[in-house]
A and B are shown apart, each in its own frame.
Chain A
Amino acid sequence: MERREDFLRKIFRKYYYENVHKIQAPQRLSEREIGYLTFYPEKMIRHINLKSEGELRALLIHEAPKSVYYSSAYYDDPSAPINARIWKGADLVFDIDLDHLMVKEDYMISFTLCNSCKLYFPKNENKRCPACGSEKIKVISIPTKKGLEYGKEEIVRLMDILIEDFGISKKEMKIYFSGKRGYHLTVENSLYEDADQNFRMELSDYLTLNGFKISNILNQEYTLNELSQLFPLPYEKGWLGRVSKSFFKDILNDPLQNLNENYLRDMLQKYFLTITRKELQSILEKIVDKIKIRIDTNVTTDIHRIFRMPETLHGETGFIKKEITIIESFYPLVDAIAFTQEPIKVYVHYAPKFELNEQVFGPYKNQEIILPEMTAVFLTCMGLAEPLDCP
């Protein structure tokens, strides 16, 4: 076995051994497909059926997998080949990943690895390695605290829509830090469990405002003056109310303390005198782009997908996929850390300056260094470091 994989497997096993009592099986475990990825050789084992929490815990300690997955779907026989099992339903799952958000520079630290000459270099525009000119380059991204905080805001907006528009209760929802760059929201035991792929596609188009017609608001049949009397108001149901809210807040700079209809309509009427229809159209398009929920639609629409199991380790970061109970006080780069402060000696190929557990590390380049276990595991999982000590 390779040194790196050997190191990680041992340390993952230690984690599972010490924390096995904390790992709770997902509900209706025996109806779900379980799969896991081994460290070396890296191989995906799928179509496993586990009957109990005990079996799951035993698997984690025995195999110490790189990653563990469970299906969002429920099957009559999860171990049968995919075409031979009966699909009974699936949780609704939403994935908010920093990759899909409006990526700002400080949301993620990104740099590039050349697969040909193993050179690490800052992200550049020309998509080639500056040393050997190879195009086989890979962008590596480390989320920042700021980026992860932004992701939380998106999750909260998503929750609000699921509650208000789809009548899903808070009790039916669970939120997780995914263990890498984002968050998962799952809805279990709801009325929507048996929803087919078509429904899930419509739902994800609804959330991402894909196909939303601006003419729902800006009807060509009316003049702007008439529209000021028909324009949706902030307290209206669904997306129309949300578009209106953003319009009053961000465009008219109104704090929305007075919701009197005459007051609001007056404001609209005055403002509409100052703009053209085309300008209003473009303002509304920008609002729609701003307020849509940036979920990964492939995740929501796939009714056979497998997801990382809660409370297990992410093989590419060493973080825990952690359930979030109070989102305001949850900080992934603190609360999802699995490993300790014990010193470990590693060789770091490359690492930018980054933050972990409120400590700042890096930058490092081609150097031997003693780091806390949590940091050493993180860099090793990311493929940026090699362990020199073995636990």
Chain B
Amino acid sequence: MQILGEEDLVKYPFLEETKEYIAKLGLTLNDFVSNEFEKVIRRCELRLMSSRYPPELYTLDKDTDLLSFILALIIIKASQREDVFTRFAFNEANRAEHFLKTEENKRVLTYILKRLLNINILEVDDFIGNSHYEYAIHVKDYIKLSSSLKSIHWKIVNKIVYNGLVYLKRREIIRLARDKIYQEIYKRIKDAPTPVVPQNLQYLVDIVKNRPLPKRLAKNLVPTVDPPCVTQILDKIKAGKNLSHYERFFITTFLLKRGKTIDEIISLFSFSPDFNEKIARYQVEHIAGLRGGRKQYNVPDCKTLFSQSLCYKNESCDNISHPLNYKLKKVEKLWREEKTS
């Protein structure tokens, strides 16, 4: 049964159907050099250069649009610029989100969502308060799909959960789909072998290579700022209070990542009333991966800290999802403010 029309492939060029369609054309990279593909090349340039292009700017004809998408994937891979992998995937996902939001045919929307998310999706029709719930997915699928979304809005505690299903509004499931599209496109570029691009197309790779780098800040500009979750624990240590097991674990992983030495961390812990150097040293060395399982532990992310009741989020956190990103965000902000003032 044919549910998707030609225009759907143009809107959602990352679907499997596109791959089949392109494969049937039997083209190789060298074919793009010919003049007959000029429109494809122009379209591809647009895809490569714009950091955010208006979604309406999409349709010349099916072949042009689909081929330009595939060509853009190849060119970006050839550029080996990881930041562009991310940027491109993000833009394409936003573009698709726009189409999903305006999709009038619910049958098509449901079909695409199922294909994209690759899970079982139930159509429901429930009103609670003034919210309309149109879809339900299994809570396990939901948690996997929403794991990269930071806001507590996405926690299941703020969702309707019933009989193993999470009930979702249309725009919510579309938002989950956008994330999945982003990941799929990123993975597709990342996992692809690096192609050999013909000389005539090399300039496209150069366009990508010459895109300005994202803001990276000189190290000496960085003031020492700690996120509130870290300040909270450091204050506790300075006040001579005992830390819980998890607080100790978190602060150790954090300080190690910030380049503190094991001895520096131990001397910090020596403020605690229950300090025992032998035990403290063992624990810190264990976390640093020098003992036991020889596994160096990662710094827990904001979600985990929240679940451990160790998140003291305030405005300064600015939607970060990991305490290590705090400094960067904060500095970027200061930098922007400085620039505008």
Contacts and interface: CB of A to CB of B under 8 A. Distances in A.
Interface in A53-87: 81-83
Contact of A206 (B128, B130, B161, B295): B161
Given A211-B152, A213-B152, A206 B157 contact: yes
A230 interface: yes
B153 interface: yes
Contacts of A199: 140, 143-144
A82 B286 CA distance: 14
Interface stretch (B72-80, B103-111, B303-311): B303-311
A319 interface: no
Nearest to A217: B129
Interface in A201-234: 201-206, 209-213, 216-217, 219, 230-232
Nearest to A168: B164
Given A166-B139, A191-B164, A204-B307, A232 B129 contact: yes
A213 B160 contact: no
A100 B44 CA distance: 60
Interface stretch (A16-24, A236-244, A271-279, A379-387): A236-244
A240 B161 contact: no
A164 interface: yes
A202 B154 CA distance: 10
A206 B293 CA distance: 32
A150 interface: no
B155 A167 contact: no
Interface string B162-184: 11110100000000000000000
A165 B143 contact: no
A205 B164 contact: no
Contact of B158 (A166, A168, A212): A212
Given A230-B130, A237-B162, A205 B140 contact: no
A236 B128 contact: yes
A178 B164 CA distance: 27
A198 interface: yes
Given A82-B293, A83-B295, A164-B162, A198 B143 contact: yes
Interface residues of B, number: 32
A271 B168 CA distance: 31
A222 to B, nearest CB: 8
Residue of A202, A205, A209 contacting most chain B CB atoms (<10 Å): A202
A201 B157 contact: no
A331 interface: no
Contacts of B129: 217, 219, 230-232
Q: Looking at A192, A211, A219, A230, which has the most chain B CB atoms within 10 Å of its CB?
A: A211
Contact of A165 (B147, B155, B161): B161
Contacts, number: 88
Given A191-B140, A195-B140, A210-B307, A165 B153 contact: no
A231 B165 CA distance: 22
B156 interface: yes
A297 B307 CA distance: 8
Contacts of B293: 81-83
A375 interface: no
A211 B139 contact: no
B158 A213 contact: yes
A213 B153 contact: yes
A301 interface: yes
A219 B129 CA distance: 10
Given A199-B140, A201-B304, A232-B128, A209 B157 contact: yes
Interface string B185-218: 0000000000000000000000000000000000
Interface residues of A, number: 37
Contact of A239 (B139, B157, B294, B308): B157
A205 B130 contact: no
Given A195-B140, A209-B157, A240 B128 contact: yes
B158 A201 contact: no
Nearest to A297: B307
Contact of B163 (A167, A195, A202, A212): A167
Contacts of A236: 128
Contacts of A202: 143, 155-157
Contact of B307 (A81, A195, A213, A301): A301
Nearest to B131: A230
Interface string B243-285: 0000000000000000000000000000000000000000000
B158 A211 contact: yes
A192 B140 contact: yes
Interface string A319-359: 00000000000000000000000000000000000000000
A210 B140 contact: no
Nearest to B153: A213
B132 to A, nearest CB: 13
Interface string B122-156: 00001011100000000110011001000011011
A219 B131 CA distance: 12
Nearest to B309: A210
The 8 A-B pairs with the shortest beta carbon distances in the complex, nearest first, are: A167-B164, A237-B162, A230-B129, A83-B293, A201-B307, A167-B163, A211-B152, A165-B161
Interface of B: 126, 128-130, 139-140, 143-144, 147, 152-153, 155-165, 167, 293-295, 303-304, 306-309
22 contacts: A83-B295, A165-B161, A165-B164, A167-B163, A167-B165, A191-B140, A191-B164, A195-B140, A201-B307, A204-B307, A206-B161, A210-B306, A211-B306, A213-B152, A216-B158, A219-B129, A236-B128, A237-B128, A238-B159, A238-B162, A240-B128, A297-B307
Interface of A: 81-83, 164-168, 191-192, 195, 198-199, 201-206, 209-213, 216-217, 219, 230-232, 236-240, 297, 301
Given A199-B143, A206-B155, 19 more contacts: A81-B293, A83-B294, A164-B162, A165-B161, A165-B162, A165-B163, A167-B165, A191-B140, A201-B303, A201-B307, A202-B157, A205-B156, A206-B161, A210-B309, A213-B153, A237-B126, A237-B128, A237-B160, A240-B128
